[in-house]
Amino acid sequence: MTRAISLHDVSKAFTRGVPVVDRLSLDIAPGEFLVLLGPSGCGKSTVLRMIAGLEEIDDGRLFLDGEYANDLPPSDRDMAMVFQNFALYPSMTSRDNIGFPLRIESPGADPAPRVDATARMLGIEDLLDRFPAQLSGGERQRVAMGRAIARHPSAFLMDEPLSNLDAKLRNRLRAEISQLTRELGVTTVYVTHDQAEAMSLGDRVAVLRGGVLQQVGTPRAVYSLPSNVFVAAFVGTPRINLLRGLVRAPLDGAMTISLGKQFLRLPEPLSLDHRLLRVQQGREVIVGLRSEAVRIAKPAAASTGEVALTGLVEHLEFQGHEVLVHFNTGSSPAVVPELEAPRPRPERPDRRRRRDGTVLHRLRVRAGARRAGTVATLDPPGKAPRPPSTEPRVPGDLIVRTTPDIPLRHGMQVPLLVDLAHLFVFDQSGERICPSPARLPDLEE
Ligand SMILES: Nc1ncnc2c1ncn2[C@@H]1O[C@H](COP(=O)(O)OP(=O)(O)OP(=O)(O)O)[C@@H](O)[C@H]1O
Ligand SMILES: [Mg+2]
């Protein structure tokens, strides 16, 4: 009743030479809840539509339960799609809307028992005789879900099904969708640009950028070991702090990462990860610090693996149970272009075809494809840092979470401790170099 969905090097271009999905490979297990996550325009809906058979696959192969399915008509795929704009027939009651696909599938059969069972499951029995215009947005979305469920499909394909709803309803329906799909044990591919939604729903999350898969893994793995700076910045709230750093590794002194006016001194003996940073000597890197990696405390309170910084309080964001403190530490933020600009840059067409079959070439292509161009903006090595006036103006360069009971005011100079166990370092192209990429997320679980 549930099915495996596999995409092998699947590509799609609407304009010749400009792929919107570029060699995507994904294996979705039967009964799995997989979330496709990425910014607007990165190709999420196109992937879903190719799985549904509503969009032709230009290149690559789709397998359903191991069977080649590129040319299988949508009606033979046994999948139900739920869209953002719940497309209900306005002239039909909820009962008829839910029963309609059943009548098409089996014209002689009475749809009533299945419609009633579905309505009970969704708690919408009292809405069955109303028309869509007489329903609230959340109720309409439940009816749309009912229409998808009643068919007993072998997979659900959901394209931002909750984005038209208010936050409270969204949270409730999110929990319902999660419970329902797990109860039914049906493979679900769920598209969203909302990272919080992706993290709370998915068994695994696949992060797309400019049509290229960046990483696929459990929410925990994607958060704790992002493969590049784009994933690190896209996943997690508040957004990870990304600072421009410079590695200094003198032969006769302590290794440091300079952050503008201050530096992080890496403790001796160096950990394996920090030793690997030595090759970056003299190079600019991107330092990633999630807000939980930094705490407000005096240097004397430092535990092993914590190093001191100071920060000037520039802005306080009161959140009720916690406060987000924006500090100025004298460092410059690194910029991840796609997260500042809404549209991804098109791919270079010459990367589309593999001409060489060597292993090295394939590895290079794969590494290049994962990146989809540079994911962060840094000056080339040796070039003087840009003057502060050209930096995007953000209040503070380091955001730290704290409890509301710590008395803080604008302009205060505050001691901070950075936990180096939570330090991320990315190279100039945005790939993670610390923790070492050899530490695969799945081995961490
Ligand atoms: N039929 C089409 N013809 C031409 N270009 C298209 C077509 N459908 C999608 N595109 C383009 O392909 C790219 C990917 O679109 P897609 O709808 O898959 O993005 P998305 O990730 O679902 O975005 P959103 O989060 O905004 O829904 C976009 O640049 C879009 O403009
Ligand atoms: Mg879309």
For residue 19, the ligand closest to its alpha carbon is 1
Residue 157 CA to ligand 2 centre (angstroms): 12
The residue nearest atom 27 of ligand 1, judged by CA position, is: 40
11, 12, 42, 159, best to mutate for ligand 1 pocket (most atoms within 8 Å of CB): 42
The ligand 1 atom at the shortest distance from the C-alpha of residue 191 is 22
pLDDT score of 250: 87
| Residues with Cβ–ion distance below 5 A, ligand 2 | 45
181 in ligand 1 pocket by Cβ < 6 Å?
A: no
Using CA positions, which residue lies closest to atom 2 of ligand 1? 14
Write down the pLDDT at residue 366.
46
- The protein residue whose alpha carbon is closest to atom 16 in ligand 1 is 43
For helices 94-105 and 112-122, angle between their N-to-C axes, nearest 10 degrees = 130
Q: What DSSP element (H or E) covers 140? A: helix 137-150
Residues in a beta bridge with 333: 243
pLDDT value, residue 312: 95
What residue owns the CA closest to ligand 1's atom 10? 14
Q: Are 63 and 216 in contact (CB under 8 A)?
A: no
Q: Which of 11, 14, 56, 83 to probe ligand 1 with, by most ligand atoms within 8 A of CB?
A: 14
Spatial separation of the C-alpha atoms in residues 206 and 196, rounded to whole Å: 14
Pocket lining: 209 vs ligand 1, CB cutoff 6 Å: no
Q: Is 41 in the pocket of ligand 1 (CB under 6 A)?
A: yes
pTM, 2 dp: 0.84
Q: Which ligand is closest in space to the CA of residue 12? A: 1
Instruction: Walk along the chain (445 residues) in steps of 10 and give the mean pLDDT of each run.
Output: 90 93 97 96 96 96 96 93 83 94 87 90 90 90 88 91 80 84 92 94 96 96 95 93 94 89 89 86 94 94 93 92 93 78 41 42 46 53 40 68 90 95 92 82 48
- Compute the residue count for the chain: 445
Ligand nearest to the CA of 158: 2
Separation of CA 305 and ligand 2 centre (Å): 43
Q: Across 114-251, where does the E strand assignment appear?
A: 155-159, 187-192, 204-209, 212-217, 241-248
**Three-state DSSP state, 102:** helix
Judge if the beta carbon of residue 44 lies within 6 A of ligand 1: yes
Q: Name which residue sits closest to atom 4 of ligand 1, judged by CA.
A: 14
Which numbered ligand comes closest to the C-alpha of 42?
A: 1
Q: 193 CB under 6 A from ligand 1?
A: yes
Atom of ligand 1 nearest to the CA of 21: 14
What is the distance in A from the centroid of ligand 2 to the CA of 41? Answer: 7
Instruction: Give the residue, by CA position, lying nearest to ligand 1 atom 14.
Output: 43
* C-beta atoms surrounding 301 within 10 Å: 12
Residue nearest (by alpha carbon) to ligand 1 atom 24: 40
CB-CB contact of 338 with 344 (8 Å): yes
Closest C-alpha to 223, from 210, 232, 212: 232
**Separation of alpha carbons 327 and 333, rounded Å:** 12
Q: Which ligand 1 atom sits closest to the C-alpha of 84?
A: 27
Distance 114 CA to ligand 2 centre (A): 31
DSSP bridge pairs for 79: 155
User: Strand, helix or coil at 412?
Assistant: coil
d(CA 212, CA 141): 30
d(CA 117, CA 55): 32
